[in-house]
Amino acid sequence: MSIINFWYIKYSFWLWLSSAYIGLSIQGNFEMPIIAVKVAALNPIPNLETHIAVIATNASTEILRKPRNLTAVVVESVNPAHWFIAGPALPAHGKSSFWLDIRVTVGTNTKDEKAAFVATIYKEMSELLGEVREESYVYVNEVNGDAYGFGGKTQEHRYIRSKLAVA
């Protein structure tokens, strides 16, 4: 077998496997998000972390179709004096800011769903915090199923196991 044929077969198999994984993972329950939020609120807000966890969980469940029972949220408050945008710290800007990072399995959401998630998080966080800097970021981080999991098993492992159980 020539080296070209070998690479063609390897590439074809990879394309088949990745398209099968992405296509079927959308239909299966192989999605679980972990959400990390850093927030710098200029004014104290009672139960801020709880409010943020509810916003993030609801948006991931309702917009990204993630199972609520597998959604984990970590919220960390940051001193606004330690959050810098374009040089000055937030107090000089007179606005709050946040950064939300959600990790999901690659291929489990459409571009429209991700855009709606970003818009909803920005809107709801703005309502909660008051005026926020436009440089408040929402990152939908798509992670490969073979590099992401919970309970000691990757998402790819769960996918393959579900296919073997059917066969």
CATH of the domain at 96: 3.30.429.10
Q: Is the pTM of this model over 0.95?
A: no
DSSP-derived secondary structure letter, 72: E
pLDDT at 158: 82
pLDDT at 99: 98
The count of structural domains within the chain is 1
* Residue (of 102, 141, 138) closest to 121 by Cα position: 138
Residue 142 β-bridge partners: 104
pLDDT at 25: 41
- Residue ranges of the alpha helices (H) in 28-47? none
* Regions of the chain short of the pLDDT cut 50: 5-28
pLDDT at 166: 79
Q: Which two tokens stand for residue 64?
A: 């990204």
- Which structural domain range is residue 96 located in? 3-166
Residue 51 φ/ψ, nearest 5 degrees: -60, -45
pLDDT at 72: 96
